Amino acid sequence: MKQWKNKKSYRIIGDLFYDMVGSLLMGIGVYCFVDPANIAPGGMSGIAILIKYLVNVPIGLMTFILNIPLLILSYRYLGKKFTVNTIKSLIINTVILDYVVAPLIPQYIGDRLIGSVFGGILMGVGLAIIFMRGSTTGGTDIMSYLMQLKFPHMPIGRAILIVDCVIIAASMAVFQNIETGLFGIISLFCCTKSIDSIIYGMEKGTKFTICSKCSKEISEKIMEDLERGVTLLKGIGAYTKEEQQVIICVVRKQEYARVKSIIYEIDPMAFVTVSEVDEVFGEGFKPIHKR
């Protein structure tokens, strides 16, 4: 019982630490780079930047206020646990943005392109750190989940994209500048890519599916030259009715050219499909870790 309480305490402390680090990076991205460049790259923080431009209200406080109606809907439709986690992260984010970043760290007043890129990257890294512990900063995350309840066949990514595009379009009207929207798209792209790189891993893999009459020779050559594991599946050609082994192999991206060369050397007539793998666990790659 005592051990369980200790594990729970460590987990809570870890969640708070990740929230604080993520909120700090996100706050620097929003306040120091995005805000002075008059960019609203989607999300509730984007709406808060627009409102700050009009009525000069702190970004963190306005972000929290804008999330209140969504938190009520979240509690009703998405559950207590999700809502409590979101409130915790929102409070930390608000305090750090308005009372740590804003008073202590100067804003970057320079090239808007640099502001959009660095702002997007810092926001993305900060959000990814928060997401890694199962938390969320609310805003478009809640909106997208609620939209999916209404339109269950709509992917969450598309729902978030729709909301962010509306906010970016509104920013061009508020700032009366088309470049604001273009820089907003750049910042949103950098933010999304940063999140994907951290959540799914910097080292993406490449998966080969190879249909060949020389599957044994190809698999042995891959294992010998690259020291990569290979899986052989029994396959039957629908047209020829012939049995043959299908090779499944996952390698690092830098090993792609070598595998392709091996296939060509042994069987130039092989049928090959190649797909990108977001993350790979297991022998020869990174180990599986529990959260």
Over range 136-156, report the average pLDDT: 72
**pLDDT band at residue 97 under the 50/70/90 scheme:** very high
Determine the length of the chain: 291
Tens digit of each residue's pLDDT (9 = 90 or more) over 195-213: 877 876 656 788 999 999 8
Nearest partner of 126 among 195, 48, 57, judged by Cα: 195
* Contact assessment for residue 235 and residue 245, using Cβ atoms and an 8 Å cutoff: yes
Per the structure block, which two tokens stand in for 118? 């660095």
**pLDDT band at residue 100 under the 50/70/90 scheme:** very high
- Helices 178-199 and 156-175: crossing angle, nearest 10°? 150
For residues 235 and 258, give the distance between their C-alpha atoms in angstroms, rounded to a whole number. 25
What pLDDT shows up at residue 156? 58
Q: What is the CATH number of domain 205-277?
A: 3.30.70.120
Beta-carbon contacts of 22 under 8 Å, excluding residues fewer than 6 positions away, are 125, 126, 127, 128, 129, 130
Domain-wise residue ranges, the chain: 2-199, 205-277
Task: For the chain, give the percent of residues with pLDDT over 70.
Answer: 90
**What's the mean pLDDT when you consider all of the chain?**
85
pTM for this entry: 0.75
Over range 161-183, report the average pLDDT: 89
DSSP assignment string, 203-217:
S-EEEEEEE-TTHHH
Rounded to 5°, angle at Cα 286 from 189 and 246:
90
What pLDDT shows up at residue 117? 95
* Contact assessment for residue 131 and residue 199, using Cβ atoms and an 8 Å cutoff: yes
Tens digit of each residue's pLDDT (9 = 90 or more) over 116-137: 999 999 999 998 888 877 777 8
